Structure 1
Amino acid sequence: MQHQFPDTTLLITHYNRSGSLERLLSTFESLGCQFADIVVSDDGSKAEHLSKVKALADRFHFRLVTTPTNRGLGNNINKGQDAVQTEYTLYVQEDFQPSDVFPKHFADALTFMREDFKWDIIRFYAYFAYPTLRPFKKGYSEMVYRFWDLNHLKFYYYSDHPHLRRSTFLQKFGRYPEGIKGDLTEYRMAVSFLQKKGKGLFFDDFTKLFYQKNSSNEPSTMQRADWKQSPNPLVKLARLAYLRYRWLKNTIDLVILK
């Protein structure tokens, strides 16, 4: 069965994981997903990966946007989004893989965006559910930011995980900051998104539309501290104190960051 999305570009960011990129593109192909365009934005991959990516471009007919040296996540998303020419963008990093039920729920998300201009982003994957969700329809809920909520996860209304967005995203929320670490790049965009009153939906069963796939040959380029999951009581107490500090800091950032 073919699923055609004539007003949507698939934007994929890539860095040194050509095998993962091939798996992602092959899965979309096997699901019958046909986009108006596919843009792969490469962040200065090694020669052996870039050579394979160029070969994949011939096979999957995507436009490749490159840079001679690694310039970080912010630059990679910015230059990729600049190349998009359609109304909507499906943004996916190369280490994800869509599930069999993705096309149906993605079609619903597109319908929501077409019907109501207030939606800026529709998220399909997360490690944890957004703290406050208001049921919407067809398995989606509206994300609700509440100032008084002490849950630090509320600040991550925006996420770099797979999502649908309007291709005017950079015009409304600003360009991604460049020259800083990837997790800080994501955080700064999340702050900008809240400052500019962005609105979005979240797929309730958030582990069912995409799977994050990493192998020993092509591990994730984002490393997170193991202490965050430690069962040690002292570590848990320290983490609670840290999260309260982060809540205060993030709240201040919403006021002063530009």
Structure 2
Amino acid sequence: MVFFPQVSLLITHYNRSHSLKNLLQRFRQLNCVFGQIVVSDDGSKSEHAKNLLELQKEYGFLLVTAPTNRGLGNNLNKGQDAVNKPFTLYIQEDFEPADLFPTAFAEALVIMENRTELDIVKFYAYYPYAYLKSYNENFDEMYVPALAADYRKIYFYTDHPHLRRSAFFTKFGRYPEGIKGDATEYSMCISFLQHKGKGLFYKDFANLLSQKNSAEEPSTMQRENWKQRNGLLISMIRYVYRQFKYNFDIVTQKPLKQMP
């Protein structure tokens, strides 16, 4: 058994109770045990809410519920508020860790404990972070050069699986509520840069976790259609738009509300 008593596993959930069961089973198969497990549910349908109660009996997690769907920001805020350990492993319910995960996570935790200036360690991404320098055999360090223009620098933070300090609200603020999920994540991305966040990026990010979306439980994140198109003209327009907007927002976005 690999026990992480100082870590709370925070799982956000919405209408994908079979995916959640798979994730919890996978951690059990890996003998990966945490000091606390928090499942934050965003007002799932009755059949999934019933499944959550059955899973709670089996896995003993703290279930934080909502009477209605209140969005990603509220789900993350109430889940993080329920955390009682100094470190948080945040993961969405549709991920599955690979065999190597406990070893990689243990190394990341030791680094975070020894380097108190670090705010986050990222384990998954669609592509490498824009600015990286080698830290050790398994991790790169993310950084933002003084004249960094690449808009992808905002992905210093993402909602993909990562380890963070549980007190990160005090530095980066709470997630905005009442807006779409993409906008919620984007606001936190900007806040991380505004407050000069520091963190590491797992080098073999494509093989440490996998995202398991099925026809029965597809992704619940809906994006505007133009953001997904790959034509040359659309891609160029999208690039120019993001290049201007993201850099502009880093300077002008009102800081998120921080906790004392």
TM-score range, shorter chain: over 0.9
Runs of 4+ deviating beyond 6 Å: none
Partner amino acid, structure 2, of 1:143? M
Displacement, 1:242?
A: 2.3
Displacement, 1:224?
A: 4.0
1:203 aligns with 2:188: no
The alignment of Structure 1 onto Structure 2 pairs a total of residues equal to 254
Partner amino acid, structure 2, of 1:146? P
1:104 aligns with 2:100: no
String of CA shifts for 1:123-149, please: whole Å, max 9, x gaps.
000011101110001310011123534
1:131 aligns with 2:127: no
Contact 2:227 / 2:238 at 8 angstroms: preserved in 1?
Answer: no
Partner amino acid, structure 1, of 2:87? Y
Pairing of 1:206-245 with structure 2 (within 5 A): 206-224=205-223, 235-245=231-241
String of CA shifts for 1:37-90, please: whole Å, max 9, x gaps.
100000000011000001100100100000100000000000000000100000
Contact 1:230 / 1:236 at 8 angstroms: preserved in 2?
Answer: no
Q: Mark the CA change 1:228 to 1:184 in structure 2 (over 3 Å): closer, same or farther.
A: closer
String of CA shifts for 1:61-120, please: whole Å, max 9, x gaps.
100000100000000000000000100000000010111000000000000000011110
Pairing of 1:135-150 with structure 2 (within 5 A): 135-146=134-145, 148-150=147-149
The residue that corresponds to 2:251 in the other structure is 255
The residue that corresponds to 1:76 in the other structure is 75
Q: Mark the CA change 1:68 to 1:228 in structure 2 (over 3 Å): closer, same or farther.
A: closer
Q: TM-score, normalised by structure 2?
A: 0.94
Give the Cα–Cα distance (whole angstroms) in 1 for the partners of residues 245 and 119 of structure 2: 25
- Of the structure 1 ranges 248-257 and 181-190, higher mean CA displacement relative to structure 2 is found in 248-257
The residue that corresponds to 1:30 in the other structure is 29
Q: TM-score, normalised by structure 1?
A: 0.95
Partner amino acid, structure 2, of 1:49? H
Q: Over the residues paired in the alignment, what is the CA RMSD in angstroms? A: 1.4
Pairing of 1:50-199 with structure 2 (within 5 A): 50-146=49-145, 148-199=147-198
- Of the structure 1 ranges 138-147 and 105-114, higher mean CA displacement relative to structure 2 is found in 138-147
**SS of 1:52's equivalent?**
helix
Q: Which residues of structure 2 form unaligned runs of 5+?
A: 255-260
Give the Cα–Cα distance (whole angstroms) in 2 for the partners of residues 180 and 117 of structure 1: 32
Contact 1:102 / 1:210 at 8 angstroms: preserved in 2?
Answer: yes
Give the Cα–Cα distance (whole angstroms) in 1 for the partners of residues 63 and 92 of structure 2: 14
Contact 1:96 / 1:212 at 8 angstroms: preserved in 2?
Answer: yes
Give the Cα–Cα distance (whole angstroms) in 2 for the partners of residues 249 and 228 of structure 1: 14
Share of identical aligned residues, percent? 55
Give the Cα–Cα distance (whole angstroms) in 1 for the partners of residues 224 and 126 of structure 2: 15
String of CA shifts for 1:193-219, please: whole Å, max 9, x gaps.
100011010001111111000100000
Give the Cα–Cα distance (whole angstroms) in 2 for the partners of residues 55 and 229 of structure 1: 37
